[in-house]
Amino acid sequence: MTVSRSSLLGGLALEVTFDAPIGGMTWYGIGGRADTLVSPRTDEAVVELVARCRAQDVPVRVLGGGANLLVDDGGVDGIVVRLDNEHFQRVQYEAESAIGAMSAGAGVDLFRLVQDTKRRGLSGLEMMAGIPGTLGGAIRMNAGGAWGQMSDRLRTITHLSMDGVVKHLHADSLGFRYRGSDLPPGVVLQCTLDLNEDDPIAVSQRVKEIFQHKRASQPMADQSAGCAFRNPVDPTTGERTSAGAIIDAAGLKGHRIGGAAVSDQHANFIVCSPGASASDVRRLIDDIRTTVAARRGVTLDPEVVIWSRGDDS
């Protein structure tokens, strides 16, 4: 870092770790270290930190649950922000007639949130069953699957821009779409969701069915970061097709580079064995894309986010 640590971090309500092993904090469990990892304790600390980074031209990245993230073996520079303090893990429910309005911090764990709403008999988040990560990350990538996506239940987002401006944004104005949106770069701090009052037993049954389907069809017990590629659009029908089916049809199930391999259970998952490196995963991603383009005429776009030293993530 070319600026002084005190000018960047001094006087702020932060927990700071230098040379932090963030690769091990991802679901891949591999990759390099962060020069500086910070865990803010207040919204004000995040706002001031981002403003200082902006003024001093220091890159900022936000680490959620690490569910769809690969950290390069060489690590990352700048500041990595992790909203894992209890301040960003608060959940509050407010009954509004037949609707359960919920506000939650961006650091809330998705597994925990699905279980909590299930126990309370609030439906709407069943589609997130079995999806790892934090609420902020799920919003940023509009996580979801066959049963729905995060934006289906979003009402508002509290967002900190990289210019240091906090805004309360309505979700319906942000152009949410398959694995993306028009949400500007920055930090999701909080959100509100619309949930429906329902029978706890019925909600629990739906969560169980979705989770069991995923467990039967996906390598959930393996060291993986979820789907490696976005489902591409079929140019003839305009509909999205299964990236896993395309990779399988290209004959790549079980294909391995170093310690990284295409899952035998679901071809859109890259799984790691002991000794795997981030370089192995990156090379395998590139090889899959090249082979699928050559054999199937399809261009696959990675869903996994890759952080490297010197990039602008």
Q: Which residue ranges make up each domain of the chain?
A: 7-86, 90-206, 219-307
For 286, the token pair is 């590139």
Residue 1 pLDDT class (50, 70, 90 cuts): very low
CA distance 64 to 109: 9
Residue 96 pLDDT class (50, 70, 90 cuts): low
Q: According to CATH, what is the number of the domain 90-206? A: 3.30.465.10
- Pair 94, 101: CB distance under 8 Å: yes
What mean pLDDT do residues 19-29 have?
A: 97
Q: How far apart are the first and last CA of the chain?
A: 16
Burial 204-220 (b: 16+ CB within 10 A, else e): bebbeebbeebeeebeb
Residue 100 pLDDT class (50, 70, 90 cuts): low
**What pLDDT sits at residue 243?**
97
**What pLDDT sits at residue 310?**
86
CB atoms within 10 A of CB 15: 12
User: What interhelical angle do 110-120 and 200-217 show, nearest 10?
Assistant: 150
Q: According to CATH, what is the number of the domain 7-86? A: 3.30.43.10
Tell whether pTM > 0.85.
yes
Residue pLDDT, tens place only, 115-153: 999 999 999 999 999 898 999 999 999 999 889 999 999
Q: Which CATH number fits domain 219-307: 1.10.10.10, 3.40.50.300, 3.40.190.80, 3.90.78.10?
A: 3.90.78.10
Residue pLDDT, tens place only, 31-80: 999 999 999 999 999 999 999 999 999 999 999 999 999 999 999 999 99
**What pLDDT sits at residue 62?**
97
DSSP 144: E
Catalytic residues: 179, 227, 303
CA distance 107 to 199: 27
